[in-house]
Amino acid sequence: MSQSFTQKAKAFVGYDPVVTDAASTKDALRGATSDLPAAASHYVSRLFPFTKWILNYNLTWLTGDIIAGFTVGLVVVPQSMSYAKIATLDPQIGLYSSFVGVCIYALFATSKDVTIGPVAVMSLEVSKVIAHVQQAEGGADIPSVLIASALALICGCIVLGIGLLRLGWLVEFIPAPAVSGFMTGSAISIAAGQVASLMGYSSKFDTRASTYKVIINSFKYLGSTKRDAAFGLSGLIFLYTVRAICAHFEKHGRTHVIRRAAFFINTLRTAFVIIILTIFAYVHLRHEKNVKNYDISILKTVPSGFQNMGVPVVNRDILSRLASLIPVSTIILLLEHIAISKSFGRVNNYKIDPNQELIAIGVTNIFTPFFGGYPATGSFSRSAIKSKAGVRTPLAGWITAVVVIVAIYALTGAFYWIPNAALSAVIIHAVGDLIASPKQVMAFWLISPIEAIIWFGAVLITIFTTIEIGIYSSVGASAALLLYRIAKPRGQFLGRVRVHPELDESQTQTNGITHRDVYVPLSPDGVRNPKVKVDAPPPGVIVFRLEEAFLYPNASRYVDQVEEYAKLHTRSGQDYSLVSPGDRPWNDPGPNHWQRKKSGSDHETARREAELAKPILRAVVLDFSGVSNVDTTSVQNLVDLRRVLERYAGGEVQFHFATILSPWIKRALLAGGFGRAGEFTHNDRPLEIAAVVPSNTDAIGSDPYFQRRFPASPPPGKAQSFEKDLDIEGGSQERPESLSKGYDEEGPVVSPLTVRFHLDLQSAVNAAAGKEDW
* Contact in structure between 296 and 419 (CB atoms under 8 Å): yes
Question: pLDDT by residue (tens digit) across 418-477?
Answer: 999 999 999 999 888 889 999 999 999 999 999 999 999 999 999 998 888 888 999 899
Contact 427, 83 (CB under 8 A): yes
CA angle 326/459/441 to nearest 5° reads 125
pLDDT class of 486 with cuts at 50, 70, 90? confident
Rounded to whole angstroms, what are the CA distances from 506 to 498, 509, 513, 614?
22, 9, 16, 44
Q: How far apart are CA 335 and CA 178, in angstroms?
A: 11
Can you tell me the distance from the alpha carbon of 193 to that of 190, in angstroms, rounded to the nearest whole number? Answer: 5
What is the SS3 assignment for 137? coil
Nearest-angstrom CA–CA distance, 701 and 704: 8
Query: Residue 263 in contact with residue 233, Cβ under 8 Å?
Result: no
Residue extents of the structural domains in the chain: 50-301+309-484, 492-503+513-579+607-769
The DSSP symbol for 373 reads: -
> Strand locations in 483-568, DSSP E?
491-499, 516-521, 541-546
pLDDT for 224 beyond 60: yes
Tell me how far apart the alpha carbons of residues 646 and 602 are, in angstroms, rounded to a whole number.
Answer: 31
- Judged on CB neighbours under 10 Å (0-12, 13-18, 19+), 592 is exposed
**What is the total residue count of the chain?**
774
User: 724: which residues sit within 8 A by CB, 6+ positions away?
Assistant: none
Mean pLDDT to the nearest integer, 624-644: 91
What are the helix and strand counts (H, E) for the chain? 30, 8
- Asked if pLDDT for residue 744 goes beyond 60, the answer is no
Q: Which amino acid is at 184?
A: T
| Beta-strand pair 541-546/516-521 | unpaired
- Burial of residue 460 (CB within 10 Å: 0-12, 13-18, 19+) is middle
Phi, psi of 144 (to 5 degrees): -60, -40
Q: What is the pTM of this model?
A: 0.77
Three-state secondary structure call for residue 589: coil
Give the list of residues 6+ apart from residue 182 with CB closer than 8 angstroms, or none. 458, 459, 462, 467, 470, 471, 474
pLDDT band at 690 (very low <50, low <70, confident <90, very high): low
Sign of CA dihedral 432, 433, 438, 442: negative
* pLDDT of res. 638: 92
Which of 51, 163, 654 lies closest to 395, judged by CA? 51
Q: What is the mean pLDDT of residues 650-658?
A: 89
User: In sequence order, what are the residues at sequence separation of 6 or more whose Cβ sits closer than 8 angstroms to the Cβ of residue 294?
Assistant: 285, 288
CATH label, 492-503+513-579+607-769, candidates 3.20.20.70, 3.90.1170.50, 3.30.750.24, 3.40.50.620: 3.30.750.24
pLDDT given at position 46: 82
Contact residues for 21 (Cβ-Cβ < 8 A; gap 6+): none
For residue 723, pLDDT over 60 is answered with no
- In this predicted structure, the answer to whether residue 370 has a pLDDT above a threshold of 60 is yes
Gap between the Cα atoms of 126 and 133, Å rounded: 11
pLDDT at position 254 over 70: yes
Q: What is the mean pLDDT of the chain?
A: 82
- Compare 530 and 150 and report the one with higher pLDDT: 150
Phi and psi at 518, nearest 5°, equal -120, 135
Q: Which residue has the higher pLDDT, 12 or 581?
A: 12
Task: Reply yes or no on whether the pLDDT at 584 is more than 80.
Answer: no
Cα 372-378-384 angle, rounded to 5 deg: 130
Cβ of 694: how many Cβ atoms within 10 Å?
6
Q: What is the CA radius of gyration of the chain?
A: 36
